């Protein structure tokens, strides 16, 4: 039987408690979970790719079946190169669904062998997003409930 490998892609700029919750839960469902960190050319990054890789790797170092990697290709090509059969996507609200459904359909068209699996966050993380964390921080707000301490410290150093 082949290993079930899932990829959880995103910019993770910054990684939030919601992302970490989903990754930890996924690690119990799959033989391997690859956290695929990419630079989104449409977004200007707060943290550079090396910072995001380092902080994410540190936060997840105690979970044996998780790998943290960067990629700068089509997601389905990255998934195929990693022998992944599943793309994990988080859905916080109904408003996420339309965009994610469209992405899922396009990925299925590009590679019919790869499935997309949607996971919802634990209730306490349903309203957290990286962009909201960045906005709250830029306006001097408290982000300690939304990100781990090490991420909060790194973000404050960046400002």
130 is annotated as an active-site residue: yes
Catalytic residue among 19, 52, 89, 134: 19
Backbone angles phi and psi of 96, in degrees to 5: -70, -30
Catalytic residue among 4, 43, 145, 156: 43
Q: How confident is the model at residue 124 (pLDDT cuts 50, 70, 90)?
A: very high
Residue 13 per-residue DSSP state = T
Given a cut of 80, whether residue 155 has pLDDT beyond it is: yes
Residues 23-72 pLDDT 10s: 999 999 999 999 999 976 666 789 999 999 999 999 999 999 999 999 99
Token pair 């408290």 is at which residue? 142
Residues 12-24 pLDDT 10s: 999 999 999 999 9
Using a 10 angstrom Cβ sphere, with 0-12 exposed, 13-18 middle and 19 or more buried, the burial of residue 39 is middle
pTM (2 d.p.): 0.94
Give, in degrees to the nearest 5, the angle at Cα 114 between 113 and 117: 140
Residues 66-76 pLDDT 10s: 999 999 999 99
Residue 131's domain is classified under what CATH number? 3.40.50.620
Domain count, the chain: 1
Q: Give the separation between CA 34 and CA 70, rounded to whole angstroms.
A: 10
Which segments within 4-85 are labelled E, that is strand? Answer: 5-10, 32-37, 66-70
* Across 88-116, average pLDDT: 91
Catalytic residue among 52, 104, 130, 134: 130
Short-list 36, 97, 45, 111, CA closest to 70: 36
Q: What is the pLDDT of residue 43?
A: 66
Q: Residue 119's domain spans which residues?
A: 5-158
Q: What is the pLDDT of residue 96?
A: 81
Given a cut of 90, whether residue 92 has pLDDT beyond it is: no
Backbone angles phi and psi of 83, in degrees to 5: 60, 30
43 is annotated as an active-site residue: yes
């Amino acid at each position: 039987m082949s290993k079930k490998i899932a990829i959880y892609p995103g910019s993770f700029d910054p990684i939030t408690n919601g992302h970490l919750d989903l990754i930890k839960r996924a690690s119990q469902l799959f033989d391997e979970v690859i956290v695929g960190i990419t630079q989104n050319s449409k977004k200007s990054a707060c943290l550079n790719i090396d910072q995001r890789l380092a902080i994410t790797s540190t936060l997840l170092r105690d979970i044996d079946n998780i790998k943290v990697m960067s990629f700068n290709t089509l997601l389905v090509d990255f998934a195929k190169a990693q022998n992944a059969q599943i793309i994990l996507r988080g859905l916080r609200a109904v408003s996420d669904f339309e965009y994610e459904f469209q992405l899922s359909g396009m990925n299925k068209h590009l590679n019919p062998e790869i499935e997309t699996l949607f996971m919802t966050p634990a209730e306490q993380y349903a309203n957290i997003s990286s962009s909201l964390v960045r906005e709250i921080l830029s306006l001097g707000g408290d982000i300690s409930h939304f990100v781990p301490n090490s991420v909060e410290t790194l973000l404050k150093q960046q400002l």
